[in-house]
Structure 1
Amino acid sequence: MRVFIDGTPLFRQRTGVGQYTMHLVEALFRVDEDHRYTIFSFALLGRGAKRRPIPETPRVAYRFMRYMHLKVFNAIVRKLTAPPIDLMLGSRPDLFFFPDFVRFPLPLGSRAIAVVHDLSFVLHPEHVADRNRKYLTRYVPRTIDKCQHIVTPSENSKKEIVEFYGTDPDRISVVSPALDHTFFYPRADTEIEAVSKKYGITKPYVLYTGTLEPRKNIKSILAAYAQLPPEVRDSFSMVLAGGKGWLDREIKDQLEALRHLDIITTGYVPDEDLPALYSGAALFVYPSLYEGFGMPPLEAMACNTPVIVADNSSLPEVVGDAGILVDAHDSAALGLHMEKVLGDPALADELRRKGLERAKLHTWENSARRLLDIINEVGARP
């Protein structure tokens, strides 16, 4: 089959959707020896067309639309209508794969698979920027209706799509994110010490990684840390590792009110520092209010760090019995669990052991094989 892949997420600064797309597609090309793939994107007048996030091979090619800038295309989509992408490309492949929520019109008749990562834009609109919320609210229902199959990263997201849109569950498959285990693994003390020094960490620490925004529930992390007994706070720093996010004014105010405590904000942390940062943490906390999947707890477990996560959305799927679940809105309970893990080495060791075992189950090759099965099934339909 000829399969066209929307490569736009690969050319942006790669956050969650971009990382998922990159790793999944790379693994797909490794496990599939039959189909031919074309990654398409925009490069006005050829600018940027030399970039190849994934190397070309005899079965992997690139196609750039050189007569329109991506920003112009996005403006048309947001303000007017979604243009027919197959006519713009001048091609009718057997299958299109859209990894970023939205399927564009295909009047030439190709089949399509799209990834709908979560339904935060309708279930938790307060945590989604207005422009993005309107865009997804408009186009995701059309995508679900028009695609031959939908992929989503968790059973929870699948359940939400079925319940909210009335979609046939047989039209939805779960292809979960995974880990590069050659990258996320327990690091040596020398690496941990170097990264700790880089970020001004001088004693054992509790860690959160991710954007500092309301959906990640930073206020509960800070409230839980503040209520720890003084002797525990004196022994452990609280490290918030991530860049500033959307609507972070309250977080800034809370940090200012707690400036007398040992709270370290690192700002954006490059990928290469994350494994050592996870490996050095005494505990990882992630009481997010909603996640389509939630990669940071999985990354932490792979680096031999005990985890506490919220008991909502997909997070129980991610950690299973390898982590502690807590009500995201109960900062007192979060604080008590933090105190318990930090004060009980046997419990922490048990969580580490279970976490390492669970993380090993998540490989990109396994996820890519699930996607390939879907490609084969959808592509074979009459």
Structure 2
Amino acid sequence: MLDARVRDDPRPQAPKARAPEAPLRIAFLSYRSDPKVGGQGVYLSQAADALARRGHKVDVLSGPPYPELSHRVRLVKIPSLDLYAQPHNGHRALRWRHLLSWADTGEYLAHLSGKFMEPWSFGRRAARWLKAHRGDYDVVLDNQSLSSGLLAIERAGLPVVEVIHHPIRRDLELALKAEPRWGMRLLSRRWYGFLKMQEKVAPRLKDVIVVSEASGRDVAECLKVGAAAMNVIPLGVDQEVFKPQPDIRRRSNRLLTTASADVPLKGLAVLIQAYARLLIQRPDLELVVIGRLREGPTRDLLRVLDLTDRVQFVSGLTRQQVVEEYAKATICVTPSLYEGFGLPAAEAMSCGAPVVATDGGALPEVVGDGGVIVRRGDVDALADAIAQLLADPAKRAALSEAGRRRARQAFNWDRAAEAYEAVLRRAVARSAC
């Protein structure tokens, strides 16, 4: 593991000539990457390892919270102010030394006014570090930052391939739709101020990877990325980890879902309301949420429905512990209003868990015949689908087998990494022309 502050060297290095099929030297960028706080960290660690297994040299450049990486992948820390990890929410984080850096000062001042600036500030820091280490890499693979720093990286001579899971404008649209208070709507718009940057940068990138056909359509609409630049490569699932656990008994009355953030997009409120209705007929039914319960809309809803002591939240789990939760679940539910892919559904299917999901975004594309699909945002439809599946063990067994079979065929990281490599090599070849 390296720290960018230790290796920083202001002298750009000339790139070395590379054989066309030589292993690539990849700088994989991600502005925050802890797998315990969201699917982006899970994606990053698995994608980086899959590329490294193909023989490429992969360095992950990440801001905090930092990722958990395999021994095949090197971590280069790009320190930030890490404003959201501090007990005082970062308001007293600025020091005199930070005034020497516009990335630090700009991030801090924007934070005071309610803006989320990590994609922008990380991009500036990463561009500075890569300019000093230009000769160490052939190509940059960026995970969703869409920062203006990427354009500086390209100007310095490094080709950039962007991975977009979904356009974040969809998050803002759903947040505004769910919020009746004008003041909170104003704050939401302020928080998502970085969207203007992303929507200017995206159309200028020559190589973009999207994770589903549905995501690609939204990326074209919201970010104006042309068809010539777009490559659809579904995510993979580590099938050696996410697999059935024959030694763990599957419960007969447990629902499981994943909600890494308390935002409308994840549809957790819809599931909780459906759960409240199901309890009338099934008072022993359990609901387990992989995620952390914080002060916010979900806690408020649980209080209103008197379910605070009924819904169990678990967080900080290892990958094996997540697999064990999938193995215990009667049904895994993905109630999202929108997903660019829907990794929890794919993981659950890989573990042989019956899945109920909505038609939000790419979920029908991911689930296929391996689960039950209901209309997004429809409490009654979700409750009915869960109730029918709870009452039908034979159908649950059939879905378990169908989901497992589909996951093994469709969500293969070796296949995805091969497709990534093709895109990366094209970007390198174009840059050399």
TM-score range, shorter chain: 0.7 to 0.9
User: Is the contact between residue 33 and residue 44 of structure 2 (CA under 8 Å) also seen in structure 1?
Assistant: no
Question: How far apart, CA to CA, are the structure 1 residues paired with 2:413 and 2:325?
Answer: 23
Q: Which residue of 1 aligns with 2:71?
A: 55
Q: Which moved more, 1:214-223 or 1:73-82?
A: 73-82
Partner of 1:354: 402
1:374 is matched with 423
Q: 1:145 aligns with which of 196, 203, 218?
A: 203
Q: TM-score, normalised by structure 1?
A: 0.81
Deviations 1:140-197 (A, max 9, x none): 23432332201122211111111233322121112222211121112134x458xx9x
2:12 is aligned to: none
The one-letter code of the counterpart of 2:325 is L
Q: 1:273 to 1:37 in 2, by over 3 A?
A: closer
Change over 3 Å in CA distance of 1:96–1:176 after alignment to 2: same
TM-score, length-scaled by structure 2: 0.72
Question: What amino acid does structure 2 have at the position aligned with 1:255?
Answer: L
Q: Which of 94, 101, 126 in structure 1 is aligned with 2:145?
A: 101
Shift of 1:13: 5.7
SS at match of 1:234: coil
Distance 2:68 2:348 in 1: 30
Equivalent residue in structure 2 for 1:259, among 291, 306, 323: 306
Distance 2:32 2:63 in 1: 11
SS in 2 for 1:119: coil
- Aligned positions, number: 355
SS of the residue corresponding to residue 228 of structure 1 reads helix
The answer (yes or no) to whether the contact 1:306–1:351 under 8 Å persists in 2 is yes
Deviations 1:114-152 (A, max 9, x none): 1122113356345496565212x1332343233220112
| Among 215, 220, 229, the residue aligned to 2:265 | 215
Deviation digits for residues 264-306 of structure 1 (CA, Å, limit 9, x no counterpart): 3123150332112111211111111111211111111122211
The yes-or-no answer on 1:3 pairing with 2:25 is: yes
Q: Which runs of 5+ in 2 are unaligned?
A: 1-17, 19-23, 82-97, 111-119, 177-187
Deviation, structure 1 residue 318: 1.1
Q: Distance in 2 between matches of 1:186 and 1:52?
A: 23
Instruction: Give the secondary-structure state (helix, strand or coil) at the position aligned to 2:222.
Output: helix
Look up the match of 2:132: 89
Letter in 2 for 1:240: V
Corresponding letter in the other structure for 1:98: D
Q: Which position in structure 2 is the counterpart of 1:169?
A: 227
Residue 230 of structure 1 corresponds to 280
Amino acid at match of 2:216: K
- In the alignment, structure 1 segments of 5+ residues that lack a partner are 197-202
Correspondence 1:302 to 2:350: yes
Provide, for residues 2-59 of structure 1, a one-character-per-residue CA deviation record: whole Å limited to 9, x for no partner. 534144457646522222111111111112x4x554444579xxxx9xx993436xxx
> Take 1:234 and 1:179, find their aligned partners in 2: how far apart are those partners?
34
**Among 164, 170, 175, which residue is 1:116 paired with?**
164
Residue 199 (structure 1) aligns with: none
1:315 to 353, 357, 363: 363
User: Contact conserved, 1:239 with 1:263, CA < 8 A, in 2?
Assistant: no
Q: 2:307, 2:30 → 1: CA distance?
A: 44
**What secondary structure is seen at the aligned counterpart in 2 of 1:360?**
helix
**One-letter amino acid of the counterpart of residue 287, structure 2:** M
Instruction: Please give the alpha-carbon distance, in whole angstroms, between the structure 2 residues aligned to 1:115 and 1:220.
Output: 29
For 2:255, what is the secondary structure of its paired residue? strand
Q: 1:264 to 1:61 in 2, by over 3 A?
A: closer
Letter in 2 for 1:230: I
Q: Secondary structure at the match of 2:301?
A: helix
**Equivalent residue number for residue 26 of structure 1:** 49
Which amino acid letter does the alignment assign opposite residue 241 of structure 1?
I
Pairwise CA RMSD: 3.2
**d(CA) in 2 for partners of 1:117 and 1:6?**
15
Paired with 1:138 and 1:181, the residues of 2 have a C-alpha distance of: 38
Against the structure 1 CA distance between its residues 12 and 131, is the aligned structure 2 distance closer, same or farther, given a 3 Å change threshold?
Answer: farther
CA distance in 2, matches of 1:39, 1:277: 29
Kindly tell me: are residues 254 and 87 of structure 1, through their superposed partners in 2, closer, same or farther at Cα, counting changes over 3 Å? closer
Counterpart AA for 2:48: V
The residue aligned with 2:218 is: 160
The secondary structure found in structure 2 opposite 1:328 is coil
Please point out which of 174, 177, 193 is paired with 1:134. 193
Task: Give the equivalent residue in structure 1 for 2:317.
Answer: 270
Q: Distance in 2 between matches of 1:226 and 1:180?
A: 34
State the percentage of identical aligned residues.
23
> Residue type matched to 1:222 in 2?
I
